[in-house]
Chains A and B, each alone.
Chain A
Amino acid sequence: MAFLELDNVTVAFGPATNQTVVLKDISLEVEENEFVAIIGFSGAGKSTLISLLAGLQQPTLGEVRKNGQLVTEPGPDLGLMFQNYSLLPWLSVNDNIKLAVKTAFPKLSKTELAKKIEHYVKMVKLGHAGDRKPHELSGGMRQRASLARTLSLDPEVLLLDEPLSALDALTRSELQDQILNIWETDKRTVVMITNDVDEAVLMADRIIPLTMGPEATLAQEFVVNMERPRDRQTLNDHPEFMRLKSEITSFMMQINKESKAFSSNQVVPMPQIRPKDFTPISGTPRLKTRPTQPGKPKSAA
């Protein structure tokens, strides 16, 4: 039995007579300490999927299980890192983390609490900015603070909902390295949602594409057989990396095409229209002649 399981899960909205099925028949098994990436286009239902795993949402059909037990409500053991940081803007970075640490370890003394906060703030290299409010931080710093908050819950499962998609390319690669570093030193189960093939190949053990919605489901998985730690510098020359990247990319493109065909499979034949010929009959146009003014009868020559 896998550590985290989705068992034939379907999510639908709306009344029974007119249901919109977002996710259909999704089955996923994640082993302990495995890093799984779920890749899909925007609007496919990725966030719904991660909400299911986090227990924020209940499936219409099927079951979500962690360690064999049904996931019915969110909690600190399912550490969800939100797409748009979701730091509380009225609290400083330290206080945001403090809120989480207090939930995970309610019985800590004041000094232990401070130590723990410091530990996590330093882990994401925000030691200098602990007293600042979120609006005083850059996007990357905010996401790091959010990561620190999630980590400080000491969750069994780390759920990352497009953690880096709002960041610029440089900050993004830096944060990818940080997340990988943290994961490698402190192994735990990770499910990451992403829309970036490079990111998925670089970070994950397995990559599972999500097909286009509605009625999105998981497609055939790709196993990343690359040794760790993976080096960003030499990655582009790695044959396995190249192969996976091109395979996944072409697969995703194909899904997109299918979906487009699905959404508008009716081909409307366009009428064949030849453009009207405007060239003057009498050969080359005379540029100097002015057009006769309307309403003024031409005098007979």
Chain B
Amino acid sequence: MADSPKDKLKYSILKVIDVSGFKVFDPPVRLIFGEEPQKQIRDIAKYMLLPILFIGVCILAWDIIGPNHKTKSGEVPNPAKVLVAYSDARRFDQREDEKNHAFEVTGSERKSEVKRVESKLAQLEKEQANLQKKSSEIAQAAQKSLDTQLAPIQEKYAALKAKNESAEEVREAEMEALAEKIALKEAQPEKLIALLKQATVAEEKEKEAESILKDQMDLIRDNPPEEVKEAQLVTNKVADEVQHHKKLLAILTKENKSVKEASLLAKAKEDAEQLAAATTGKEVLKEAKSIVKNTERAESTSEQSYPRTATIFWQTRRSLATVFVGFIIAAGVAIPLGIMCGLNRIFMACMTPLISIFRPVSPVVWLLIFQIIVGAFFLPDPASHPLFVFMNDSLNPFSSLQTNPAMIFSACTVAMCALWPALVNTALGVSAIDKDHLNVAKVLKLGFWSRLFKIVIPSSLPLVFAGLRISLGVGWMVLIAAEALSSSDGLGKFVWDEYQNGSSQSFANIILACFVVGIIGFFLDRLMIILQRLVSFDDGSATA
């Protein structure tokens, strides 16, 4: 085989595609290298364009059907609204970054930052004023046109009302007269009752006519013209920016770490001067106390970090961290246990009842059990428990995750539910070793450990990884529910909070979270497929 470098490149790219399980991208790569273009184009049309078209149709159907379904939390958001929710989440995250920076920045950099924010704020305020003016103008104009639209209907309505009132008066008078006559026994009471019935029918009719006009007016009032809405939106956006920059400025000038520290130290210095000037023992004691207090506070300030508000991105990172912790615990327990089960039939017989009984237990039950059992380790004060002190120390790279007991409970629940597939598959993989390979081990007189590491484990690895893949999938699914229930910060809690707070965007946020969960789940699965293919010793075509 005399492969040209181009061919080599092609085959290595194709190999990567194959291992990662993205077979779909095979035809385009071949097309780029000019291999049987017609066949590749046909394949692309069949296996790429048609699916893309199908997805497009699905999104279109969502776009059309969704908004037609009215719910108590507003209509079902369409794709555009979900995208807006995403960009809002991005902006929110960026602002948190900026605030964090404003909190940390020191020295001349801070001064230049203050200048920058101040000028930006001035510019924004100017813009805001302009926009407000413009928008109020637009609103006035709209109001005018609204008034002109409403005027004829209002007139009609007033006329109708007057007419109806007079008609009613006439009816009342008529009935009163009739009642007088009946009292004098000049007429039959049946007549009055008939008249009353007629009056109710007439009144209803009149009311209906009135309400039609009223509805017409309401419709006009409730739907202000698009330009008013747009102007309002633009104004709100700028107002939002202004708000943000004001907050930034406040952080830069008042809450900033270095500023706070400096002011505390300055106070301490002042105290020291006063101490030197003090004449009575009482005063000296007071100043000394103040010095100690202020220097201590300055020290603790220097260790502080900006208290970020949770964003969906941070929640996602936390969820990923939780699922990996749970997954690693699950793998660490399941693989040794599975190997023992596979090697020893007695051990397997002992484990089978446990596996059969605990595997079907719902994650919710596990979560509650772990909250009680594992929670006991963190009593009485979880915040001062060495684990959390260590994890949340500002020097620890994982301190941004803000590890807390709820996170541990969620991770334990994930581990408990993700344990079983890995355990069962490992046991299966170990017990299904080729008899000939065991004979080889006997002929080669391998000891227990070298038999384990040279024969048993390598031979069962493909099945072990197949099990781990299922475990990770299960873990990710369980995690979202566990987070929602234990209110451990993460995607699950994000969804739950959005459901509870019911702002205009929460429905869109829930759908956004749904996509985030799905896409991350997809990539986790791919990751496991790649690992599985790398450890399988045959061509690995059986895994897809």
- Residues of chain A whose beta carbon lies under 8 Å from any beta carbon of chain B: 54, 56, 73-76, 78-80, 82, 84, 86, 88-91, 99-100, 103, 133, 135, 153
Instruction: Tell me what chain A mostly uses at the interface: helix, strand, loop, or mixed.
Output: loop
A104 to chain B, nearest CB (A): 9
| Interface membership of chain B positions 451-472, coded 1 if the CB is closer than 8 angstroms to chain A and 0 otherwise | 0001100110100000000000
Flag if B439 contacts A99 (CB, 8 Å): no
Q: Name the A residues within 8 Å of B444 (CB-CB).
A: 76, 99-100, 103, 153
The answer, yes or no, to whether B69 is at the interface (CB within 8 Å) is no
> Are B440 and A82 in contact, with the CB atoms below 8 A?
yes
Contact A103 B445 (CB under 8 A): yes
* Tally of chain B residues near chain A (CB < 8 A): 18
B377 interfacial contact with A, CB 8 Å: no
Determine whether B522 belongs to the interface, using a CB cutoff of 8 Å to chain A. no
With A99-B454, A133-B537, A135-B537 already in contact, the answer to whether A88 and B440 are too (CB < 8 A) is yes
What's the nearest-Cβ distance from chain B to residue A246, in Å? Answer: 36
A76 touching B443 in the complex, CB below 8 Å, given contacts A82-B436, A84-B436: yes
Residues of B at the A interface (CB closer than 8 Å) are 434, 436-437, 439-440, 442-446, 454-455, 458-459, 461, 537-539
CB pair B443–A54 under 8 Å, yes or no, is: yes
Chain B interface mostly: helix
CB distance from B176 to the nearest CB of A (A): 96
Known A75-B445, A99-B444, A103-B445: A90·B537 in contact at CB below 8 Å: yes
**Does the CB pair A89–B537 fall under 8 Å?**
yes
| Sample of 16 further A-B pairs with CB below 8 A, known A78-B443, A88-B455, A135-B537 | A56-B442, A75-B445, A80-B443, A82-B436, A84-B436, A86-B436, A86-B439, A86-B440, A88-B440, A89-B537, A89-B538, A90-B458, A90-B459, A90-B537, A99-B454, A133-B537
Query: Can you list 13 pairs linking A and B with CB atoms under 8 Å apart?
Result: A56-B442, A75-B443, A80-B443, A84-B436, A86-B434, A88-B454, A88-B455, A91-B458, A99-B446, A99-B454, A100-B444, A135-B537, A153-B444
| Complex: chain B residue closest to A80, CB-CB | B443
Cα–Cα, bound, A78→B440 (Å): 12
Bound Cα distance A204, B333 (Å): 55
B459 touches A82 (CB 8 A): no
| A201 CB to nearest B CB, Å | 29
- Tell me if A135 and B439 are in contact (CB < 8 A): no
Contact residues in B for A80 (Cβ distance below 8 Å) = 439, 443
Least CB separation from B536: chain A residue: A90
B440 contact set on A, CB distance < 8 A: 82, 86, 88
Q: Report the Cα distance A78→B444, complex, angstroms.
A: 10
Distance between Cα atoms of A75 and B441 in the complex (Å): 10
- Bound complex: CA A91 to CA B537 (Å): 8
B93 nearest CB across to chain A (Å): 45
Q: Considering the complex of A and B, which 3 residue pairs feature the smallest CB-CB distances, nearest first?
A: A90-B537, A86-B436, A90-B458
Question: What residues on A are CB-neighbors of B461 within 8 Å?
Answer: 90
Contact between B538 and A74, CB atoms less than 8 A apart: no
- Minimum CB–CB distance from B170 to chain A (whole Å) comes to 92
Closest B residue, CB atoms, query A103: B444
Return the chain B residue nearest A51 by Cβ: B439
Using known A-B contacts A90-B459, A103-B446, determine if residue A56 contacts B538 with beta carbons closer than 8 Å. no
B458 contacts across to A, CB distance below 8 A: 88, 90-91
In the assembled complex, the Cα of A29 lies from the Cα of B416 at a distance in Å of 60
Contact residues in B for A100 (Cβ distance below 8 Å): 444
Query: Which residues on B sit within 8 Å (CB–CB) of A88?
Result: 437, 440, 454-455, 458-459
Contacts A86-B436, A88-B458, A99-B454 hold; do A74 and B443 have CB atoms under 8 A apart?
A: yes
- The docked-state distance in angstroms from the alpha carbon of A290 to that of B538 is 66
Question: Across the interface, which residues of B come within 8 angstroms of A135, CB to CB?
Answer: 537-539
Which residues of B lie under 8 Å from residue A74 when comparing CB positions?
439, 442-443, 445
Contacts of A91 in B (CB 8 A): 458
Q: Choose among B437, B439, B445, B539 the residue that contacts A56 (Cβ–Cβ < 8 A).
A: B439
